[in-house]
Structure 1
């Protein structure tokens, strides 16, 4: 405390700070749109920041995204033009705005970081961004021509931007706006009902029907969460999977603290582990290890998936939802430690590397690992970590690995070993011949 500062002055200063805290900020609120931590963003911010379109308040003022604003206003115009003939676009806009304004307090609580937008700007932003997302997928679903669809590189970039953790608006805003809108005023009464928005988006993402999506649609937080529900499907693990995985509450488990690493692919080969593609995998997470055989589903890695995976992992870090992709990324990062590991897994048809080279494939998973945190005692691949390390600690795999490392690490080492083996065999043969000759000579003299 500086000299001369009284207790009263300090209390006034503290109370001033307390009064500046937003009344909507609460530890109990249900946040869903988070900020990427600075130490994670510094690894490579390009994968966390939109390149074409801004959705939500966090990136709306960035200059390189302003070119897309014209398309967003065009989409809003098209969205307002859809509806009943006896309702004007102005009336529809008022109806949509009133609905969003009623949701504003709930929407603001979904953002981890408060925004300086006033109520008018905030509601206008929500209407503009929600109508853009709806129109984007409805135009695609209806087969409409649009300038954005004619440029082949724009669609992957737009989808990547819509699947970034910081670039979101709450999904209930989008869905309610879609539900109160009318897209086909001439639809007969006995026609099929309007398709659900989730069904349209899932059709775009996966080419499947809405009924096949295994999640509660009422609990979708935003577009990234919907994508997570689609692609990160939890496996039906055995009932005792947690016990096998080393639950920290299981006092009798000898592996109370499970291994945090596994050998890389080239080292596993030295231990005699057979790595092969899982041809009957239920999902990309269906990894198993039995009797010295490691089965892994085939996975394609390309530049566009890097950003999506990194944002999915960032989403898993913010929510208690199993962290399947995080666990998978950590496992693959240990397995592919060098370019040689990537070459080996390509040979086994486990990875389909669409990146520039094998070094980039190893970097792909190391980047995912760098922003990942898991509880090594409880994640879904904990039993696989345990079983691999248990196998590699056995007597013969350890001796085999030592032999491979010392004598078969390179072609020249193999040649030297074979030459030494031949020389040893020849020496033994000479000794045997000498012994036999002495033996027969001794018997002849008798």
Structure 2
């Protein structure tokens, strides 16, 4: 894609190759030996009896090969016939073992493991795992994990939870809580993959109807919430797609979704009766018109107050503007942030889908940030946590993200229009002009204050002169 040319290094792995596209890169070959060590560590963890042998994993990957090949847009040609299945096994087990070592650092720890000993190394590898051209189908990881646990409830927990925790330092999001034994029966998806078959059948044959108490209602509500998240993450195609889902809003609860469907059905009936054309309730007639907003400092001069949203209680895209207050979740800008955003944007471009929320977010932040003053203002209000160093680096990052990118539908059109309407207000516009032209520096403020004081003294002197003549 053309956007790869804007910053090629942001799309290339630095330490580890996953999948076929960078498999033969010379600078990634040293990591192949560590992959084999991690494969051995993963096989040594086996929870099942009898232990699953290497040949069974190879057989499973061979059966999955044709389906996995279809996940790639290009025809994959490797050096040998069985190399694709071998690649899936080694790369998949490497990822799973790395995730398990990160979630359970005290287990199966080898003193000579450089990946876990050097924080920088594990961080770089984590960034490599979310590159668009460095992916393995997530079905491969799920298949390996199911084989590893033998479809039984693992002591390590649900794979989606492990992946979510693995990426928590790169993505600020509410974690999926660890699923307890009492909650397990309420999750059909979890039952299918993580409970023994005989236990599921027992649950189906002898259903128990517990008394409805406040505690059981709370558990059921939490179960619905976790199940919705698990179902959402189960649609992810690969780890980059999974991370994108972590950043997006959680799906509505079943009760809310069913209520919306009921109203939609009633709306359709009424419109059929009155022969009215159907409407799309999500569509704003002006949403296709892109509106540019002023930068953060200019909005601040127009009495727009910036306030951070807690990223642990919301999602990255939850921006609101109400009562002169623009709320934006905090984003941590660090070494892997540009690569993450660029690959998420590339994924949305590649999917050719109308909804491109990460692209819309990058566009919104690009409009807000025109200079280092804008970065400083957003830092001061806790919206940006800059770990790169200089504000100019953050400015450069956001101003270069959208080159060769098609934005499409804007997810923040309502917020943009509210900000534009606020800025166009004559009173706010006058205040902004006054601040920008006369109070933009301390010296300008002092000069204006001195001029005002001189004017007042002149008026007082004139009045005193008139009174003395009388």
TM-score range, shorter chain: 0.7 to 0.9
Match for residue 128 of structure 2? 161
Q: Is the 8 A contact 2:287 2:410 kept in 1?
A: no
1:200 and 2:162 equivalent?
Answer: yes
Match for residue 384 of structure 2? 351
Q: Is the 8 A contact 1:259 1:389 kept in 2?
A: no
1:111 CA displacement: 0.9
Match for residue 66 of structure 1? 29
Match for residue 109 of structure 2? 145
Q: Distance in 1 between matches of 2:317 and 2:43?
A: 43
SS in 1 for 2:327: strand
1:367 and 2:411 equivalent?
Answer: no
Could you tell me which runs of 5 or more consecutive residues in structure 2 were left unpaired when the two chains were aligned: 169-174, 180-225, 261-278
Gap change, CA 1:112 and 1:279, over 3 Å in 2: closer
1:205 CA displacement: 2.9
SS in 2 for 1:369: coil
Gap change, CA 1:309 and 1:303, over 3 Å in 2: same
Which runs of structure 2 are paired with 1:4-403 in the superposition (5 Å)? Answer: 37=1, 39-81=2-44, 83=46, 92-117=53-78, 118-142=80-104, 143-146=107-110, 147=113, 148-181=115-148, 195-206=157-168, 208-209=176-177, 212=226, 213-233=229-249, 247=284, 250=285, 255=286, 258-278=289-309, 282-319=314-351, 320=353, 322-370=355-403, 372-375=405-408, 378-403=409-434
1:220 CA displacement: 2.2
Structure (1 or 2) with the larger CA radius of gyration: 1
After superposition, the C-alpha distances for 1:223-257 in whole angstroms (9 at most, x for unaligned) are 11122222333587999xx989973xx3xxxx465
Aligned residues: 385
Q: Distance in 1 between matches of 2:49 and 2:431?
A: 79
Q: Distance in 2 between matches of 1:335 and 1:155?
A: 33
Q: Is the 8 A contact 1:245 1:381 kept in 2?
A: no
Q: Is the 8 A contact 1:101 1:123 kept in 2?
A: yes
Gap change, CA 1:414 and 1:79, over 3 Å in 2: closer
Q: Distance in 1 between matches of 2:280 and 2:368?
A: 24
Could you tell me which runs of 5 or more consecutive residues in structure 1 were left unpaired when the two chains were aligned: 1-36, 441-446
Gap change, CA 1:160 and 1:220, over 3 Å in 2: same
Scaled by the length of structure 1, what TM-score is found?
A: 0.77
Q: Distance in 2 between matches of 1:389 and 1:414?
A: 27
RMSD: 3.1
Gap change, CA 1:86 and 1:397, over 3 Å in 2: closer
Q: Distance in 2 between matches of 1:127 and 1:347?
A: 47
Q: Is the 8 A contact 1:244 1:383 kept in 2?
A: no
Q: Distance in 2 between matches of 1:355 and 1:370?
A: 21
Gap change, CA 1:201 and 1:135, over 3 Å in 2: same
Q: Distance in 2 between matches of 1:140 and 1:421?
A: 64
Q: Distance in 2 between matches of 1:279 and 1:105?
A: 44
Q: Is the 8 A contact 1:245 1:386 kept in 2?
A: no
1:183 CA displacement: 8.4
Q: Distance in 1 between matches of 2:13 and 2:463?
A: 77
Q: Distance in 1 between matches of 2:369 and 2:26?
A: 38
Q: Distance in 2 between matches of 1:371 and 1:76?
A: 40
Match for residue 209 of structure 2? none
Q: Is the 8 A contact 2:247 2:317 kept in 1?
A: no
1:287 CA displacement: 1.4
